[in-house]
Amino acid sequence: MLSPKRTMGQYSTPQETVTYMTKNLLKYLPSDVQESKILDPCTGDGIFIKSLLQSGVSADHLFAFDIDPLTPPPDEKIHFIQTDFLKESNAEKFDAIIGNPPYKSKRQSSYLLENKKYLSEEFQEVGIHNLYTLFIYKGIQKLKDGGILTMIVQDSFLSNVYYKNFRKYVLDHTEIKEIILAPRRLFHKGKADVRTCILTLKKRPSLLIDRNHTHTMRLIDRLADQEYTNPPNESVQYMNQIHFENNPNYNYSINVPIEILSLFHTPYVPLGDVV
């Protein structure tokens, strides 16, 4: 029988991955990080909050949400609220958001079925295909302009046609700083066979009309181990975000040569239309 956390699609994140994500998040924040408000919207075992505390972030500036009434606060001094982040209506904004949201599709999740009407209205812009995309969408909305979001999520959104609107929303509202395809067996200790990636975004100012077409993303192909800081050179690619915007269905292509991508950027007639 599955535990409540497994039923919700929650998996504990390995410490090495948490440590990298924490350091990566903090490097994008102002030098006076103590003034930054950081949120983990699905805190679970609290490993991200604990890592931030160990990195020297003051508990006064850490916020943690969790829907499970049995989840204890990660630390007595932080701001902890037992709440459903996807239904959170507070106008409060954050400088940074970090975490590992639940992965459950609408066919697997009782939460998505029970809240279908509300979620269909609130998330109609991107669709309600999986819980983790809803957390990212809501997270972007809860960020201040220029705020940073880093989450480890299932990588199905990268090219699956059902996530086309979600990919476009991310491209329209953020600068993608980094996408790392995490090791395939990252969650095997938790008995979860799920492919994941670490996604790091910076929210564009809401009044910004002209995009920064010189923005470069750091893309890292599937790693064998948690070697995020020093990945093999052949795994790393730097690419202008405009290439994702020009891809069919806004697909996020990792480690595909630009020469190949450019073939898909010119107008063509799909074979299905010919047939």
pLDDT by residue for the chain (275 residues), tens only, comes to 334 444 444 568 999 999 999 999 999 997 766 678 999 999 999 999 999 999 999 999 999 999 999 999 999 999 999 999 999 988 899 999 999 999 988 788 899 999 999 999 999 999 999 999 999 999 999 999 999 999 999 999 999 999 999 999 999 999 999 999 999 989 866 556 789 999 999 999 876 656 666 789 999 999 999 999 999 999 999 999 999 999 999 999 998 888 888 887 776 677 888 88
CB 264 within 8 A of CB 249: no
CB 131 within 8 A of CB 102: yes
Per-residue model confidence (pLDDT) at position 262: 82
Per-residue model confidence (pLDDT) at position 7: 44
Could you report the per-residue pLDDT of 108-162, keeping only the tens digit for each? 889 999 999 999 999 999 999 999 999 999 999 999 999 999 999 999 999 999 9
Coil, helix or strand at residue 105:
strand
* Cβ-Cβ contacts under 8 Å for 148 (sequence gap 6 or more): 25, 28, 29, 95, 96, 97, 177, 200, 201, 202, 203
Contacts for 46-49: CB closer than 8 Å, 24+ residues apart: 46/72, 46/73, 46/74, 46/75, 47/12, 47/13, 47/15, 47/18, 47/74, 48/13, 48/18, 48/21, 48/22, 48/98, 48/99, 48/100, 49/74, 49/75, 49/78
Which helix (H) or strand (E) is 152 found in, with range?
A: strand 143-154
Question: Model's pTM, two decimal places?
Answer: 0.90
List residues bridging with 174 in a β-sheet.
Answer: 203
Range of the domain at 204: 4-274
Coil, helix or strand at residue 117:
helix
CB 192 within 8 A of CB 182: no
* Total residue length of the chain: 275
d(CA 100, CA 21): 10
Q: Which sign does the torsion angle of CA 145, 43, 23, 224 carry? A: negative
Coil, helix or strand at residue 271:
helix
In terms of Cα–Cα distance, which of 215, 173, 223 is closest to 198? 223
Burial class, 228, CB count within 10 angstroms (exposed 0-12 / middle 13-18 / buried 19+): buried
**What is the total count of domains within the chain?**
1
How far, in Å, are 18, 19, 26, 38 from residue 57 at the CA level?
15, 13, 9, 9
Coil, helix or strand at residue 154:
strand
List the CATH number of the domain containing 203: 3.40.50.150
Helix ranges (H only) for 85-173 are 110-114, 116-122, 131-142, 164-173
Which helix (H) or strand (E) is 7 found in, with range?
A: helix 4-7
